Amino acid sequence: MFKIKFKNILFFSNKKNISSPRVILFFYGLGCSGNDFKFLFKQINFKSQLFIAELPGHNNLSYNNDNLYKYSRKIFLFIKKNKIKEITFFAHSLGGIIPIILVKNFLKKKILIKKFINYEGNLTEDDTETLTKKTISYKKNDFTSTKFDKLISKCSESNKRFINLWSNSLKKTSSVAFYDLSKECVKLSKTNELLHFFKIFFKKSIYVSGDKSQINKSGSLFGSIRFKIKNSGHFSFFENKTEFSRMFNKLILRKI
């Protein structure tokens, strides 16, 4: 595994240099970190270059009030500078918004989007009910000064191992970034625009969910190609790492 820096964005990659115009861009969810997915670099069975992009204020990175639009623009500049011509997106949770912002605002048609694999990305208002809406129900100062630490403690003490593991990345996340990105996520998810764009624009899109996840909408709303990760929910990369790796490789290589 190698680290590649561009502006104030850190990428983890399986190759030291950017050696191919065809890449996989991986965006994780709120409060996670690139470290949570390092195991993929030992288990990937494809030749493409994989980039895992750290979110603003995550994994002990400084937070400069970058919103998702500014962040996506920097991702675009990275793509442009390195003359990347073909992209496969894999995105989890809040990270599912980033490819939509990228394509909608920055990427030109000459860049081929091979496929978009969306693992329980924030596409609807229902997707914000568990965490992000609750986060912004507090005043920002209250959340960043006390509530965030309480969230970390609660997760650390949980009897669920995958929540314990998530707490390790939460400890490396800026409380301000967590709040700001939650607020933005709720705002962008209030209408069906994200879901509509995911289904209509991305001709080769796959929706993935954990088979234990409680999703309040019919699966057909997320498109015709859907997969479930066995014995897991929203955090299958913690809950069932082997199955997550298998599904990741399968969907990257799958022809649709």
Task: Give the domain CATH number at 75.
Answer: 3.40.50.1820
21 lies in a domain? yes
DSSP strand pairing (2-6 vs 22-27):
unpaired
Total of domains in the chain: 1
CA distances for 143 relative to 48, 171, 173, 229, angstroms: 41, 15, 13, 33
pLDDT band at 219 (very low <50, low <70, confident <90, very high): low
- pLDDT, position 217: 67
Scored b (16 or more CB within 10 A) or e, 198-237 reads bbeebeebbbbbbeeeebeeeeeebbeeeebbeebbbbbb
164 lies in a domain? no
Whole-prediction pTM: 0.95
pLDDT, one tens digit per residue, over 154-166 is: 999 999 999 999 9
The residue segments making up the domain with residue 103 are 2-124+192-253
177 lies in a domain? no
The DSSP letter of residue 8 is T
176 lies in a domain? no
Mean pLDDT of the chain: 93
What is the rounded average pLDDT of the residues 163-176?
97
pLDDT band at 18 (very low <50, low <70, confident <90, very high): confident
Long-range contacts of 77-81 (CB under 8 A, 24+ apart): 77/6, 77/7, 78/6, 78/7, 78/9, 78/11, 79/107, 79/111, 81/6
> Please, are residues 86 and 92 in contact by the beta-carbon 8 Å criterion?
no
